[in-house]
């Protein structure tokens, strides 16, 4: 039954916020495709058997440091080393800067990194929407199976925290970070996709198929990075906040939440699954019913939240660049020596 609310509420259209989020997310995604292509050319250059004596400086400059964002485990090691010894990773500093930006965002702006920046989130988003177009709906895993599956990402997160933060001494981390394997960990990551094994291909295919039918399958059940950011985001003072007096219980917020949260049933969303994507807010038709807010219902304009997301993320990267913590210290000679043997190099 269609709810008629014209005479009860002041209608509002905040769909613009969705388009701003798509614009941010897809700009980052497209930029990373471009960066990935440049990095591919960089690796191709060093993989060639007859490297000509071109300008080493310009080749090194062509390597986009942003690809280090795909090395979150290395970033966790670097983070521990930085906190415990004050040593900032000089091999993949951009990876640590991006990691710090994501943590800072989680502390202040919910899991904003997942909702607004992460390219995997952007891809997941488009895949489940494609699934909904094909089958007319997305499926939901049974409540108990959902709880069990969701714990997987926390188990993976705890595993990495135990192995790296608890067990690995800083001296061992430093030794690993300065070793040949870590120096070309980004190259290994590239080969993971460009020279896929059968197992990798089948695993990615299964994930793709599951993501078609279930919203954000990877993010919801398996991503340990998202699990960590989700737990940190519990500290964020900003939460999606519903005002019962203005709410008309149309359930548009619940129906559209990509994290399957029961927004319409809660006054304040405290879940670590909330990505701060503001999809619920953008769909809410009643002025004053749903907002992103500080405690005591001090609301923030969605546009201000979006600006804060972009400023915090790119501002942290900017500070990293100014502080000289963005470009890798790996030299031309080292790349020339290590990349040709990258495929044979095993984890120490």
Interface residue list for ligand SF4 (CB under 6 A): 240, 242, 247-253, 257-259, 261, 263-264, 269, 274-280, 283-284, 286, 289-290
Tell me whether residue 67 or residue 280 sits nearer to ligand SF4 (CB atom): 280
Tell me whether residue 110 or residue 183 sits nearer to ligand SF4 (CB atom): 110
Least separation in angstroms between residue 28's CB and ligand SF4 is: 18
| Residue 90 contacts residue 334 (beta carbons within 8 Å) | no
DSSP string, 265-313: G-SB---TT-----HHHHH--BTTTEEEEEGGGEEE-HHHHHHHHHHHH
Tell me whether residue 74 or residue 121 sits nearer to ligand SF4 (CB atom): 121
Tell me whether residue 75 or residue 263 sits nearer to ligand SF4 (CB atom): 263
Least separation in angstroms between residue 266's CB and ligand SF4 is: 9
Print burial letters for 28-49: b (CB count within 10 Å at least 16), e (below 16). bbeebeebbeebeebbebbeee
Tell me whether residue 92 or residue 110 sits nearer to ligand SF4 (CB atom): 110
Least separation in angstroms between residue 256's CB and ligand SF4 is: 6
Helix (H, G, I), strand (E, B) or coil at 88: coil
Least separation in angstroms between residue 283's CB and ligand SF4 is: 6
**Bridge partner residues of 242 (DSSP):** 290
Tell me whether residue 63 or residue 111 sits nearer to ligand SF4 (CB atom): 111
Element (H, E) at 240: strand 239-242
Which residues make Cβ contacts (< 8 Å) with residue 70, sequence separation at least 6? 186, 189
Least separation in angstroms between residue 191's CB and ligand SF4 is: 34
Q: What distance in Å separates the CA atoms of residue 244 and residue 204, rounded to the nearest whole number?
A: 43
Q: What distance in Å separates the CA atoms of residue 29 and residue 122, rounded to the nearest whole number?
A: 7
Which residues make Cβ contacts (< 8 Å) with residue 96, sequence separation at least 6? 75, 78, 79, 82, 88, 89, 325
Tell me whether residue 64 or residue 112 sits nearer to ligand SF4 (CB atom): 112
Q: What distance in Å separates the CA atoms of residue 36 and residue 30, rounded to the nearest whole number?
A: 10
| Residue 125 contacts residue 258 (beta carbons within 8 Å) | yes
Tell me whether residue 249 or residue 327 sits nearer to ligand SF4 (CB atom): 249
| Residue 35 contacts residue 66 (beta carbons within 8 Å) | yes
Least separation in angstroms between residue 146's CB and ligand SF4 is: 15
| Residue 290 contacts residue 263 (beta carbons within 8 Å) | yes
Least separation in angstroms between residue 152's CB and ligand SF4 is: 19
Least separation in angstroms between residue 129's CB and ligand SF4 is: 14
Least separation in angstroms between residue 69's CB and ligand SF4 is: 22
Tell me whether residue 251 or residue 334 sits nearer to ligand SF4 (CB atom): 251
Q: What distance in Å separates the CA atoms of residue 102 and residue 111, rounded to the nearest whole number?
A: 8
| Residue 219 contacts residue 152 (beta carbons within 8 Å) | no
């Amino acid at each position: 039954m269609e709810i008629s609310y014209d005479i009860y509420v002041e209608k509002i259209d905040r769909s613009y916020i969705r388009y701003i989020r798509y614009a941010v997310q897809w700009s980052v995604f497209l930029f990373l495709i471009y960066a990935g292509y440049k990095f591919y050319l960089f690796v191709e250059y060093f993989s060639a058997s007859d490297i000509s004596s071109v300008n080493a400086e310009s080749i090194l400059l062509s390597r986009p440091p942003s690809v280090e964002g795909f090395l979150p485990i290395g970033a966790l090691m670097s983070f521990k080393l930085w906190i415990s010894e004050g040593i900032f990773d000089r091999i993949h500093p951009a990876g640590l800067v991006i990691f710090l930006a994501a943590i800072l965002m989680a502390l202040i702006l919910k899991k904003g990194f997942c909702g607004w920046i992460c390219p995997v989130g952007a891809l997941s988003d488009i895949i489940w929407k494609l699934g909904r177009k094909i089958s007319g709906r997305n499926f939901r895993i049974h409540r108990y199976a959902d709880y069990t599956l969701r714990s997987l990402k926390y188990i993976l997160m705890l595993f990495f925290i135990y192995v790296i933060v608890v067990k690995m001494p800083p001296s061992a981390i430093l030794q690993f970070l300065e070793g040949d394997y870590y120096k070309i960990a980004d190259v290994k990551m590239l080969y993971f996709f460009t020279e896929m094994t059968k197992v990798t291909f089948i695993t990615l295919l299964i994930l793709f198929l599951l993501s078609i039918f279930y919203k954000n399958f990877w993010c919801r059940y398996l991503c340990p990075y998202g699990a960590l950011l989700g737990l940190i985001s519990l500290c964020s003072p900003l939460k999606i906040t519903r005002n019962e007096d203005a709410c008309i219980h149309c359930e548009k917020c619940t129906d559209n939440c990509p994290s399957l949260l029961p927004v319409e049933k809660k006054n304040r969303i405290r879940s670590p699954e909330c990505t701060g994507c503001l999809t619920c807010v953008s769909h809410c038709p009643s002025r004053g019913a749903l907002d992103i807010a500080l405690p005591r219902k001090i609301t923030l304009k969605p546009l201000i939240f979006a600006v804060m997301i972009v400023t915090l993320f790119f501002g942290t990267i900017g500070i990293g660049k100014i502080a000289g913590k963005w470009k890798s210290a790996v030299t031309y000679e080292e790349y020339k020596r290590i990349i040709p043997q990258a495929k044979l190099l095993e984890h120490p």
